[in-house]
């Protein structure tokens, strides 16, 4: 793997750890499984579909597919 790939995964891991630390310090415990939800939303925003010059996050594609009227 290239250095850029390692940097992206490293920055993502650091961001995720910081997000979970902030959650544990300041969270209101009314919502269940919020940590897993944050991880899922992070991953949905991270992975993308690339169609020529258009970049579409997977989460947006799922939202438009499931919640379009």
Taking only Cα atoms into account, the Rg of the chain, rounded to an integer number of angstroms, comes to 15
Question: Could you read off the pLDDT of 9-64 as tens digits, one per residue?
Answer: 888 888 888 877 877 777 666 777 777 877 787 777 777 778 888 777 777 777 77
13: domain range?
Answer: 3-66
- The per-residue pLDDT for 50 is 80
User: How many structural domains is the chain composed of?
Assistant: 1
Angle 20-34-7 (CA atoms, 0-180°, nearest 5)? Answer: 35
Of residues 68 and 53, more confidence is placed in: 53
57: left (phi over 0), alpha (psi -120 to 50) or beta: beta
- Torsion sign, CA atoms 32, 27, 60, 10: negative
pLDDT at 21: 83
Distance CA 16, CA 38 (A): 9
Asked if pLDDT for residue 2 goes beyond 80, the answer is no
């Amino acid at each position: 793997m290239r250095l850029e790939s390692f940097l992206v995964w490293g920055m993502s891991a650091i961001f995720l750890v910081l997000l979970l630390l902030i959650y544990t310090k300041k969270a209101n415990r009314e919502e269940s499984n919020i940590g897993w939800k944050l991880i899922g939303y992070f991953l949905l925003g991270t992975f993308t579909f690339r169609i020529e010059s258009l970049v579409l996050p997977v989460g947006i594609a799922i939202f438009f597919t499931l919640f379009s009227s």
